[in-house]
Amino acid sequence: MGYLSIDKKKITSKTFVELKQAGEKITMLTAYDYTTAGIIDAAGIDGILVGDSASNVMAGNETTLPISIDQMIYHARAVARACKHCLVVCDMPFGSYQVSREEGVRNAVRMMKETGVDALKMEGGIEIADTIRGIIDAGIPVMGHLGLTPQSVHKFGGYGLRAKEEAEAEKLLNDARTLDAVGCFAITLEKVPAKLAEEVTKSVSCATIGIGAGSGTDGQILVYADALGMTQGFKPKFLRHFADVNKCMTDGVQEYIHTVKACSFPNIDESY
Ligand code: KIV
């Protein structure tokens, strides 16, 4: 018996809800470029997020705040072009949906038109519910994002665990119910206690995708460069390395340098 996700030709936002209902875990990673997205898609992932973490991973910024709509469109278009099977979700960047519902809907429509992705993701709860409703009404599937929402890092004062206290946990649960009620097909839960993430998962009909939220969510997401061991010196408790790509690339680059310096690349067979 195959996995429901692998049996399907093209994964849609509806598939995510079906996977939840079938009790099959949903797998997601981020990607920001054509080559990496092609590898991840061909490996059989359910969803790729073109995260605004591109600001950190691709551009070396401290936060996700500086990345622009144009830059997100550039990354998302490349990823969408590579993916044949998985659902492609793109983050709406900071400032593109917080000002007004009208501006949020206009930017969301532009991002869908110019990228070819399948869905958009936005950070926040009840305060952006009306904008999310407008975007869904325009025919665009939306993934919410609660808990540690990196676009609000300056408000939180860092990247620590969220919703430890009862009041914040209660707000998060209400926010999740609101996002579910307005029609989000999924909600990312980032860096929240496992027990709370499990409670949210049982309280909503949409799929929950956790990062640092324990094993009780409907699926998991990681930043690909972290999961595959490319980033150095970043090893929060929730992260596991599934490969050592940093070592693999370093070895390959050093072998290339050594071979060129030793005049053994290119050889006769590699020359015209
Ligand atoms: O931008 C991103 O990579 C994200 C994930 C951490 C969920 O939002």
Domain boundaries defined on the chain: 13-241, 244-271
Is ligand 1 within 6 A of the CB of residue 89?
no
pLDDT at 8: 57
Is ligand 1 within 6 A of the CB of residue 211?
yes
What is the spatial distance between Cα 126 and Cα 182, in angstroms, rounded to a whole number?
10
Residue nearest to ligand 1 atom 4, measured at CA: 51
Neighbour-count burial of 272, counting CB atoms closer than 10 A to its CB (0-12 exposed, 13-18 middle, 19+ buried): exposed
* Residue the block writes with tokens 């010196």: 233
pLDDT at 9: 79
Mutate to test the pocket of ligand 1, among 33, 40, 49, 50 (most ligand atoms within 8 A of CB): 49
Is ligand 1 within 6 A of the CB of residue 122?
no
Q: How far is the CA of 52 from the centre of ligand 1 (A)?
A: 7
Is ligand 1 within 6 A of the CB of residue 31?
no
Q: Which of these CATH numbers, 3.20.20.60, 3.40.50.150, 2.30.30.230, 1.10.1740.10, describes 13-241?
A: 3.20.20.60
Quote the strand ranges of the chain, DSSP E: 26-30, 47-50, 87-91, 119-121, 142-147, 186-190, 207-211, 219-222
Predicted TM-score (pTM) of this structure: 0.96
Has 46 been labeled as part of a binding site?
A: no
Q: How far is the CA of 256 from the centre of ligand 1 (A)?
A: 34
Tell me, yes or no, if 190 is annotated catalytic: yes
The three-state secondary structure class of 133 is helix
pLDDT along the chain (272 residues), means of 10: 66 98 98 98 98 98 98 98 98 98 98 98 98 98 98 97 98 98 98 98 98 98 98 94 98 98 98 98
pLDDT at 232: 87
pLDDT at 2: 64
Q: How far apart are the first and last CA of the chain?
A: 50
